């Protein structure tokens, strides 16, 4: 009897996903005094050290909702975009199960770049000019007369690899052919956008929304290209740091006024009660912030720098968002330090890579000033192996960005796996300017 009463009061959280972002979410939720048990589906080797991993893929919405119902999960938190785009929030709502994440219709902000652009146009949210094309011939005809550089974007989901900056007609034609004729990104390339290139500092702004209130996290900066100096192909993200000092209070106020508030208001006007993360990928231009893209979930690896700095209880924030009580959370509380994440990837990523490669040197002692978040790992203890393109994200926290990076790189240098690839210049866009020590 006593056991039953205790079970009734238990707060159980299910995190959906298998990457570094999900490891960071689980790591932070684990610190909540309100949470008694955390499951992660399917999780990875690092997550299994701090939560119970469940062998259900993130795309198996039926099995996830069955699991949440059977185990009386208090809150399910969805990491990746795919299940959101496929309607996991709608299915959980149908079954009266609590879930943090937007509906399928709302997730179109990320799952269709064209939907997002048209939404921004309807609601006067600043974004670079663009044109939409449904055939390669029309698109190629257009780029012959347009100004360079420009950005070619696949309409659908492409794991961060669907946008290409091109500087001449040949490169633009090749990008269009790869997306629309060779179908390298599958159905994501049914339609494309051609967008004007805008220059400036790029910043990721993630905010939690409950349909009425929007609560921004600290700004962070991702490093999308595979190689140093922002060269090479786009990846899911090779590193990040937070906060970004170039986002002044004045700029943040503008982002709230011209981007975040109008986004939430626009969604509401279109009948969408958005509960989840609104992630605006912004370019700060001389003409003000411009939205390059929306995502409908936490960023990866941005989450790996936000969670170690967040002092507020993440569970309370996410729960408040699912019950329209975000206004009562007030301001978020942060460590007044810097966090920097260096992603270690498999040789060949974002192209083809091997898995099952042995990993050594991952510290076993927990350290809140240097956390190793697992992205693509399997096995356990001294049998840790690679299982994905991005393998680990090492986040250092310290008084300055340079010191935070020094912590990350010291740990990275002790971790070994054959072909391990990582950028040695995370933070370079601000460090070369400020000489931050």
Q: Which residues bind ligand GLY (CB under 6 A)?
A: 160, 222, 237, 295, 299-300, 302
Nearer to ligand GLY, 68 or 343 (CB): 343
Residue 170: in which H helix or E strand, if any? helix 169-176
Shortest CB 223 distance to ligand GLY, Å: 9
CB 45 within 8 A of CB 377: yes
Shortest CB 224 distance to ligand GLY, Å: 7
Nearer to ligand GLY, 32 or 156 (CB): 156
| Spatial separation of the C-alpha atoms in residues 255 and 263, rounded to whole Å | 11
Nearer to ligand GLY, 116 or 320 (CB): 116
Please give the angle made by the CA atoms of 243, 226 and 297, to the nearest 5 degrees.
Answer: 50
Q: Is 294 left (phi over 0), alpha (psi -120 to 50) or beta?
A: beta
Shortest CB 160 distance to ligand GLY, Å: 5
Cis peptide preceding 350, ω within 30 of 0: yes
Residue that the structure tokens 């993200």 belong to: 237
Nearer to ligand GLY, 202 or 313 (CB): 202
| Spatial separation of the C-alpha atoms in residues 229 and 232, rounded to whole Å | 9
Nearer to ligand GLY, 22 or 302 (CB): 302
Q: Is 351 exposed, middle or buried, given 0-12, 13-18 or 19+ CB atoms closer than 10 A?
A: exposed
Helices 302-309 and 20-29: crossing angle in degrees, nearest 10, is 20
Shortest CB 222 distance to ligand GLY, Å: 4
| Spatial separation of the C-alpha atoms in residues 37 and 57, rounded to whole Å | 20
| Largest distance between two CA atoms of the chain | 76
Closest by CA to 218, choosing from 397, 61, 89, is: 397
Shortest CB 58 distance to ligand GLY, Å: 15
Nearer to ligand GLY, 88 or 139 (CB): 88
Phi, psi of 393 (to 5 degrees): -130, 115
Phi, psi of 291 (to 5 degrees): -80, 120
| Spatial separation of the C-alpha atoms in residues 322 and 19, rounded to whole Å | 23
Shortest CB 79 distance to ligand GLY, Å: 10
Shortest CB 70 distance to ligand GLY, Å: 31
Nearer to ligand GLY, 237 or 388 (CB): 237
Nearer to ligand GLY, 35 or 427 (CB): 427
Helices 20-29 and 314-322: crossing angle in degrees, nearest 10, is 100
Shortest CB 300 distance to ligand GLY, Å: 5
Shortest CB 398 distance to ligand GLY, Å: 22
Nearer to ligand GLY, 90 or 222 (CB): 222
| Spatial separation of the C-alpha atoms in residues 265 and 262, rounded to whole Å | 5
């Amino acid at each position: 009897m006593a056991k039953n009463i205790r079970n009734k009061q238990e707060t159980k959280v299910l995190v959906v996903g298998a990457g570094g972002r999900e490891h960071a979410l689980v790591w932070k939720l684990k610190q909540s005094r309100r949470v008694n048990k955390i499951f992660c589906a399917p999780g990875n080797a690092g997550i299994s050290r701090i939560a119970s991993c469940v062998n259900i893929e993130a795309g198996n919405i039926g099995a996830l909702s069955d699991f949440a119902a059977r185990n009386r999960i208090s809150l399910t938190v969805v990491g990746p975009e795919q299940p959101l785009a496929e309607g996991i929030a709608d299915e959980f709502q149908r079954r009266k199960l609590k879930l943090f994440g937007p509906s399928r219709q709302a997730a179109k902000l990320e799952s269709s770049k064209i939907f997002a652009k048209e939404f921004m146009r309807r609601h006067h949210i600043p974004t670079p000019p663009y044109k939409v094309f449904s055939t390669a011939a029309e698109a190629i005809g257009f780029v012959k007369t347009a100004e360079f550089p420009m950005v070619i974007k696949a309409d659908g989901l492409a794991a961060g690899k669907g946008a290409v900056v091109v500087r001449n007609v040949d490169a633009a034609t090749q990008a269009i052919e790869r997306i629309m004729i060779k179908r390298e990104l599958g159905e994501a390339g049914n339609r494309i956008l051609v967008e004007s290139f805008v220059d400036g500092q790029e910043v990721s702004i993630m905010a939690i929304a409950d349909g009425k209130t929007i609560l921004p996290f600290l700004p962070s900066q991702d490093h999308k290209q595979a190689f140093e100096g922002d060269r090479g192909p786009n990846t899911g993200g090779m590193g990040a740091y937070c906060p970004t000092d170039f986002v002044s209070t004045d700029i943040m106020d503008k982002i709230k006024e011209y981007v975040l508030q109008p986004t939430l208001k626009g969604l509401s006007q279109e009948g969408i009660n958005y509960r989840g993360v609104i992630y605006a990928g912004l370019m700060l231009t001389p003409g003000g912030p411009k939205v390059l893209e929306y995502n409908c979930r936490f960023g990866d690896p941005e989450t790996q720098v936000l969670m170690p700095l967040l002092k507020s209880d993440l569970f309370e924030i996410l729960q408040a968002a699912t019950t329209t009580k975000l206004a009562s959370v007030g301001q978020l509380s942060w460590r007044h330090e810097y966090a920097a994440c260096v992603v270690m990837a498999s040789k060949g990523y974002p192209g083809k890579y091997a898995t099952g490669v042995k990993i050594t040197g991952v510290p076993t002692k927990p350290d809140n000033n240097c956390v190793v978040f697992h992205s693509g790992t399997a096995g356990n203890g001294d049998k840790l192996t690679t299982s994905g393109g991005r393998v680990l994200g090492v986040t250092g926290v310290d008084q300055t960005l340079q010191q935070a990076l020094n912590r990350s790189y010291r740990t990275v240098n002790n971790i070994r796996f054959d072909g391990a690839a990582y950028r040695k210049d995370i933070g370079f866009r601000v460090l070369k300017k400020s000489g931050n020590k």
